Amino acid sequence: MTSLLALTRPDLFQTQNFIAGAWVDSTAHYPVVNPATGALLAQVARAGATETQAAIAAAQQALPGWRRTLAKERGTVLRRWSALMLAHCDDLAALLTAEQGKPLAEARGEVAYAASFLEWFAEEGRRVYGEVVPPHKLGARVVVTKEPVGVVAAITPWNFPLAMVTRKVGAALAAGCSMVLKPSEETPLSAFALAVLGQEAGVPAGVFNVVSGDAPAIGDAVMQSDVVRKVSFTGSTRVGKLLMRQASDTLKRVSLELGGNAPFIVFDDADVDAAVVGAMASKFRNAGQTCVCVNRFFIQDGIYDRFMERFAVAVRALKVGEGTAPGSDIGPLINTTALQKVERHVQDAIALGANLIVGGESHALGGTFYQPTLLTNANVQMQLAQEETFGPVAACFRFKTEDEVLALANDTPFGLSAYFYSRDLARVWDFAERLQVGMVGVNEGMISTEVAPFGGVKESGFGREGSSHGLDDYLSLKYMLVGGLRTGG
Ligand code: SIN
**pLDDT per residue over 117-163, tens digit each?**
999 999 999 999 999 999 999 999 999 999 999 999 999 999 999 99
Ligand 1: distance of its center to the CA of 203 in Å? 25
Helix (H, G, I), strand (E, B) or coil at 435: coil
Index of the ligand 1 atom closest to the CA of residue 293: 2
Index of the ligand 1 atom closest to the CA of residue 291: 2
Ligand 1: distance of its center to the CA of 290 in Å? 5
Residue nearest to atom 5 of ligand 1 (CA): 290
Ligand 1: distance of its center to the CA of 291 in Å? 5
Res. 4: pLDDT tops 80: no
Residue 116 Cβ < 6 Å to ligand 1: no
Residue 160 Cβ < 6 Å to ligand 1: yes
At 2 the pLDDT is 63
Ligand 1: distance of its center to the CA of 168 in Å? 12
Residue 448 Cβ < 6 Å to ligand 1: yes
Index of the ligand 1 atom closest to the CA of residue 167: 7
pLDDT tens across 285-333, in order?
A: 999 999 999 999 999 999 999 999 999 999 999 999 999 999 999 999 9
Strand partners, 47: 213
Residue 354 Cβ < 6 Å to ligand 1: no
Res. 24: pLDDT tops 70: yes
Ligand 1: distance of its center to the CA of 164 in Å? 7
**Average per-residue pLDDT in the chain?**
97
Residue 291 Cβ < 6 Å to ligand 1: yes
Q: What share of the chain in percent tops pLDDT 90? A: 98
On whether the CB atoms of residues 329 and 284 are closer than 8 A, the answer is yes
Residue 143 neighbours by CB distance under 10 Å: 14
Strand partners, 178: 151
pLDDT tens across 214-224, in order?
A: 999 999 999 99
* 370-375 mean pLDDT: 98
Pairing of the two strands 461-462 and 253-257: antiparallel
Res. 359: pLDDT tops 80: yes
At 361 the pLDDT is 97
On whether the CB atoms of residues 211 and 51 are closer than 8 A, the answer is yes
On whether the CB atoms of residues 237 and 414 are closer than 8 A, the answer is yes
Residue nearest to atom 6 of ligand 1 (CA): 448
Strand partners, 482: 141
pLDDT tens across 375-401, in order?
A: 999 999 999 999 999 999 999 999 999
Sheet holding 141-148, edge to edge: 131-133, 141-148, 475-482
pLDDT band at 487 (very low <50, low <70, confident <90, very high): confident
pLDDT band at 240 (very low <50, low <70, confident <90, very high): very high
In 3D space, the residue among 180, 204, 402 whose CA is nearest the CA of residue 301 turns out to be: 402
Index of the ligand 1 atom closest to the CA of residue 290: 2
* 45-52 mean pLDDT: 98
Which positions are catalytic? 257, 291
At 231 the pLDDT is 98
Residue 292 Cβ < 6 Å to ligand 1: yes
Index of the ligand 1 atom closest to the CA of residue 448: 8
CA distance 319 to 483: 70
* 28-32 mean pLDDT: 98
At 122 the pLDDT is 98
CA distance 36 to 336: 11
Res. 489: pLDDT tops 90: no
